[in-house]
């Protein structure tokens, strides 16, 4: 009988993944990840997905239905997530064993989620944020990746791109960008975890640039929706998108001098801006807002049109406006400023291509070209 070699080491999977969030994009992210953890030896097969528990009209709990049917019947109906996705309504339990944490919730909930997780995650955990938005505090704006890093003491990358979730769910080709700071190896782990034949992911050493692209494009999408709602045509919409990209770049570079020009030509930049201004929930609700002459609130439209999903553009426009006002930059960013003033009823939707004595010194179409 051959001797037993007691020195043979069995390679145990190094990484265990939890997705914090289970909305439309969170469910699609879980599907992408779960398809890869089954194939990659460095990852445990099981993917936990934290679900904010809801009672469905049938009286059943959403988590129970997801685990029974392998489908998020509320936020991603008709799509199988993968047999290795396990829904868990207990946040602390969902993250307990994970050392790769994927955050994908509405940005306004993240501070509360982070506070609940302090001291509850593994010391070797890495994080990535798929969240578009920022927190505005008295000391200035705080990106969601920074919030996660500071509150939880973990390195946090970001993933942004031209990613309308329902298209990725049915495996239509799409791209995304992972933004990272210093450790390329960690970024490559995330690229490996998300990449599929229909979801091409690349890495970019510019966390702030990638994240701000994903955040600010929702404000521009609100403007594009106003244009659609007023039936102003494609030329006007193209002008709004160009101005929006210019303001995205200027705002990002004023906040963070490290932001790279090249980032705006990645999927997270111009591609995400284009797809969000052509489709997506922010454009859709802003179109309805303009068609109603601004007489119906965004809260009402969100409740009616999004089946429990959250708008990001309106709240981000408010946050950006607060930063601009605090820093005295309002006149430098006429599009961002006007979007917020339309959303709050100070200006009519038609003001998206107009300006008055109350608006910036220069019109929206045209304007300064000496931005950073």
325 is catalytic: no
Where do we find the tokens 């959403």?
Answer: 62
Tell me the two tokens of residue 166: 């329902």
CB burial of residue 345 (10 Å; 0-12, 13-18, 19+):
exposed
From 217, 237, 249, 284, the catalytic residue: 217
Contact 194, 159 (CB under 8 A): yes
Cα separation, 71 vs 49, in Å, equals: 12
Where do we find the tokens 């998206």?
Answer: 352
CA end-to-end distance (rounded Å), the chain: 74
Instruction: Find the radius of gyration of the CA atoms of the chain.
Output: 21
Cα separation, 315 vs 189, in Å, equals: 32
Tell me the two tokens of residue 321: 């406006």
With b meaning 16 or more CB within 10 Å and e meaning fewer, what string describes 218-246? bbbbbbbbbbbbbebeeebbebbbebbbb
Cα separation, 204 vs 141, in Å, equals: 22
Handedness of CA 206, 209, 214, 215 (dihedral sign): positive
Question: Who's near 287: CB < 8 A, 6+ residues apart?
Answer: 225, 226, 228, 229
Cα separation, 32 vs 128, in Å, equals: 15
Four-CA torsion 33, 34, 40, 44, nearest 10 degrees:
110
38, 53, 87, 116, 371 from 70: Cα distances, Å: 16, 16, 9, 27, 49
Q: Helix (H, G, I), strand (E, B), or coil: what is residue 13?
A: coil
Q: Point out the residues that are catalytic.
A: 217
């Amino acid at each position: 009988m051959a001797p037993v070699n007691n020195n043979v080491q069995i390679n145990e999977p190094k990484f265990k993944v939890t997705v914090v969030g289970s909305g439309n994009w969170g469910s699609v992210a879980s599907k992408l990840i779960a398809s890869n953890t089954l194939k990659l030896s460095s990852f445990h097969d099981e993917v936990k997905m934290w679900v904010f528990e809801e009672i469905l009209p049938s009286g059943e709990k959403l988590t129970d239905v997801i685990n029974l049917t392998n489908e998020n019947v509320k936020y991603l109906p008709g799509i199988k997530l993968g047999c290795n996705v396990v829904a868990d309504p207990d946040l602390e339990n969902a993250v307990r064993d994970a050392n790769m944490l994927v955050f994908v919730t509405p940005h306004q909930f993240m501070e509360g989620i982070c506070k609940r997780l302090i001291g509850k995650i593994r010391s070797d955990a890495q994080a990535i944020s798929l969240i578009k938005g920022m927190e505005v505090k008295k000391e200035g704006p705080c990106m969601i990746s920074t919030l996660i890093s500071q509150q939880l003491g973990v390195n946090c990358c970001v993933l942004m791109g031209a990613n309308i979730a329902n298209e990725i769910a049915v495996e239509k080709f799409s791209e995304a960008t992972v933004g990272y700071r210093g450790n390329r190896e960690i970024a490559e782990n995330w690229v490996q975890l998300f990449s599929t034949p229909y979801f091409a992911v690349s890495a970019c050493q510019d966390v702030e640039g990638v994240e701000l692209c994903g955040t600010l494009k929702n404000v521009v999408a609100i403007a594009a929706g106003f244009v659609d709602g007023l039936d102003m045509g494609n030329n006007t919409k193209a002008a709004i998108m160009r101005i929006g990209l210019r303001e995205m770049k200027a705002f990002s570079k004023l906040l963070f001098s490290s932001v790279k020009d090249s980032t705006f030509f990645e999927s997270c930049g111009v591609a995400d801006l284009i797809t969000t201004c052509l489709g997506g929930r922010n454009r859709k609700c802003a179109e309805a807002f303009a068609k109603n002459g601004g007489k119906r609130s965004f809260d009402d439209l969100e409740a009616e049109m999004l089946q429990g999903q959250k708008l990001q553009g309106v709240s981000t426009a408010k946050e950006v406006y607060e930063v601009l006002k605090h820093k005295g930059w309002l006149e430098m960013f006429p599009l961002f400023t006007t979007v917020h003033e339309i959303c709050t009823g100070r200006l009519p939707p038609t003001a998206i291509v107009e300006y008055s004595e109350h608006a910036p010194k220069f019109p929206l179409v045209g304007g300064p070209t000496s931005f950073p």
